[in-house]
Amino acid sequence: MLDTVGCCQPPVETVGLAEAAGRVLAVDVHADRDYPPVDRSIRDGFAVRAADMPGTVKIIGEVRAGEAFSGSINTGECVRIMTGAPLPAGADAVVMVEYAAVGDGTMTTDRTPKPGEFINHAGCEAREGDAVLRRGSRLKFPHIAMLATVGAATVEVYRRPRVAILATGDEIVPVEAAPKTFEVRNSNSWALAAQVAAAGGIPVVLPVAPDRLDATVALIEQGLETDLLLLSGGVSAGDYDFVEAALARCGAEFFFTRVKIRPGAPMVFGRARGRYFFGLPGNPLSTAVTFEAIARAALELLSGVAVPMLPIVEAHITRTMREKGGLTRFLPAVLDNGAARVTPIDWKGSSDVPALARSNAFIIAPPDREIFQEGDSVSVLLQ
């Protein structure tokens, strides 16, 4: 999508580790030394020569994590060793403390360890100079651990894109307002703001655009000053759906104006004044689905993510379900990921916010299938 129409890399900035979580790495990160830097024990026990075992050997010392044994182990000798401690010279195996009997300065075991047993050899995790993290990775806690391990107190990341969010329609009133019977509160802008933030963007919520062409154009122009513009509503074929006309007034190039999914078929994507935009449908479930299934990947590309991936898992449906085919459908559901089970939620159409609030996933129903039996495996898009 964006990568096929000339998306450029976002600007780079440097942040400390405390601010790095959730950001996208802008450089490869390399190991500054071998990991581990020396052979070390992965168990509490005794460092031994495998050739001396089984049998009784003399304990000549002890080595803990954070120190090194100054001598070496010769035939008939061993050293008490703790997890993470460097292996003494001359040793080539570790006997776990559970399998050792200690008495009168000696250690006895009936075990026959193999050379290398319970030892992490120097460089077995990473060699000096190895790329341990790749550019374009979104940093989670394992990546932060890796950065700290290699001494990266600061890291270069891509700047988070600013995303303008513009709801449209005379029927939309502010959240704090008391709506008339023909009005609805502005749930889409704030739901999209949460989705944008979760995807790594900085949401910029604009005032609601009324159903007037000039006013919609003015707000679209404001939105095009950010990195990405998300509009909700006004992209259907109604007499007062001005979004496409307003975008055209701004010199928009449209890449598509409809998608074969339900909910969410009336959707536009394009570029105007060097910025990308999505015109999402106005009903809340349609807005949520089209962002998660399509627009989110564009935002991640603008964030510097190398290969955006939809968070899709497989699960077994808990009850028989019938849905009209013809389009790919995204159906609100509750996923028990631990048990790999998913339960469809009864919903009353794409305006059913209570159903959306009860869900944590969407069942993906392919266009050529209408009946799903209990126990069938289905694809599930995580929210």
Please write the tens of the pLDDT for every residue from 359-377.
999 999 999 999 999 999 9
Q: In which domain, by residue range, is 65 found?
A: 40-120
* Cα–Cα dist 88/163, whole Å: 57
How high is the pLDDT of residue 337? 86
How high is the pLDDT of residue 237? 59
* Cα–Cα dist 202/161, whole Å: 6
How high is the pLDDT of residue 8? 59
* Cα–Cα dist 351/347, whole Å: 9
Pair 174, 237 in one domain: yes
Radius of gyration, CA atoms only, the chain: 30
Burial of 18 (0-12, 13-18, 19+ CB in 10 A): exposed
Which residues does the chain have with pLDDT short of 70?
1-8, 236-240
How high is the pLDDT of residue 5? 39
Residue 4 CB coordination number (10 Å): 7
Please report, for the domain that includes residue 83, its CATH number.
2.170.190.11
How high is the pLDDT of residue 4? 39
What is the rounded average pLDDT for all residues in the chain?
A: 94
Nearest to 87 by CA among 35, 34, 58, 48: 48
Strand 172-173 and strand 184-185: the pairing is: parallel
Pair 91, 105 in one domain: yes
Of 238, 272, 303, which marks where a domain is finished? 303
Residue 31 CB coordination number (10 Å): 20
Kindly report the pTM of this predicted structure: 0.86
Counting residues of the chain whose pLDDT is more than 70, the rounded percentage is 96
Of 285, 303, 321, which marks where a domain is finished? 303
* CA atoms within 13 A of residue 15's CA, in its CB half-sphere: 18
How high is the pLDDT of residue 338? 87
Burial of 177 (0-12, 13-18, 19+ CB in 10 A): exposed
Strand 162-167 and strand 312-317: the pairing is: unpaired
How high is the pLDDT of residue 180? 96
How high is the pLDDT of residue 234? 77
Pair 154, 169 in one domain: no
Nearest to 195 by CA among 221, 165, 175: 165
Q: How many domains does the chain have?
A: 4
Nearest to 232 by CA among 192, 181, 276, 270: 192
Within the chain, what is the greatest distance between any pair of CA atoms? Answer: 96
Task: List, for residues 212-257, the tens digit of each pLDDT value.
Answer: 999 999 999 999 999 999 999 977 655 547 898 999 999 999 999 9
Pair 264, 277 in one domain: yes
* CA atoms within 13 A of residue 7's CA, in its CB half-sphere: 22
Pair 293, 175 in one domain: yes
Pair 332, 277 in one domain: no
Pair 131, 250 in one domain: no
